[in-house]
Each structure stands twice: as structure tokens, then as C-alpha cells.
Amino acid sequence: MRETVEAKGLFASLYTDRGSHYWHTPKAGEKVDRSKPTQFGRAMGELGIEMIRSYSPQARGRCERLFRTLQGRLPNELAREGIADMGEANEYLGAYWPRFNAAFGVEAAGEGTAFVPLSDVRLDDIPCLGETRTVGNDNCVSYRGKRPQIAPQPHRIHYVRAKVRVHEHEDGSMSVFHDRLRLGRYDRQGCPLATSNGAGGTA
């Protein structure tokens, strides 16, 4: 999804099945709970992309036909190329998708694009794990055994008892946000990383 957004820009909506990575469903077979977004749903919400879930047999059939096509073709191609490693498979997809789209793509009815430029969106802060935490009396945040400390900010001395959001990035590093303001970046052990202002504060 990140590759698509980086290459083409933001889009208005995403139509998906009800897989557990897309939606939280309290009881199998019943409606999804939109008040409890998954990590994927949270990221889409922060990007302003509406998620549309499929309920009708026709909608689900459309998704399944695509999956069946991919599952029937791609594993055979990987086997033919002798690929059994995840990294090699991901690299192979770079050449596979253009051929797949050329074979199955349909020309758009109209001209132009509905994608919107990213402008000032910081993608590193969105496609990641994000969890809400309450700042402790020592101005530290407890997150999966780590305790990153929020440095004094120009506009606020401490964030004790404030609700903040911890983002864990792909490389294991972390960021702490209060609303849209990033309060600090940290390595995978929770130690502050230098940012553009020379400290562990905003960037």
C-alpha cells in the first residue's frame, strides 16, 4: 500500500474483504466493528482514505476471483524461477506486476487521475504499529518493555498523564506523538535519536 501511495498519491477509498488485518469482527459472520480499527485501518484513517467493507456475495466473489487468479499463477511462476526466499519473491514482484496488469488490466472509462499528491504527508509516521499510551509521572511512556522519555518541549515542560500515541516503525525505532505533533524519536531500545532540532523533540 505504501508503494502505491508513494508512486501515485492518495486515493479516496479502498474496497476490501473482511479479513482480520482490515477489520475487527466481534463475532464471525456478523458485521465489523468500525469503532475498533485494526493497525491497517488506523493507517488508512490517518491518510484520509475511506475503507469500504464487502458484505454481499457478489462483492466477496469479486475479491475471491482475484485471489484465485493470483494463487493459481504466482506460486507456479515462483517455483519455475526457483524462488523460495521471501526477499527474492518480493523482488520478483517488481517485474511480475507490470505483466499481470498488462494481461488483466482494463482501461479507465475517463481520462486523468483521481489520485491526490501527497504534499506534506510524512509516510514514515503512518504505515507502522500505533498504540495509545498514558505518560507516566516521570514523563516516560511504557511501550513493550521500553520506557522512552519525552524531552522538555519549547511549548510544554511535561506531558504527565497526557494521552500520547507511540508509533513503532519498520526498523524497530519509535516515535511519540501528541495529536499530530511528534514529541521525539527513539531507537529500538527507547533511547532518544537526534532529530532536525538536534534533540529528541519535534521534527
What does the pLDDT look like over 40-73, one tens digit per residue? 999 998 888 999 888 777 777 777 888 888 888 8
Q: In angstroms, rounded to a whole number, what is the distance separating the alpha carbons of residues 26 and 166? A: 25
Q: What is the pTM of this model?
A: 0.67
pLDDT, tens digit, 9 for 90 and up, residues 148-203: 999 988 888 899 999 999 999 989 999 999 987 889 999 999 999 976 443 344 33
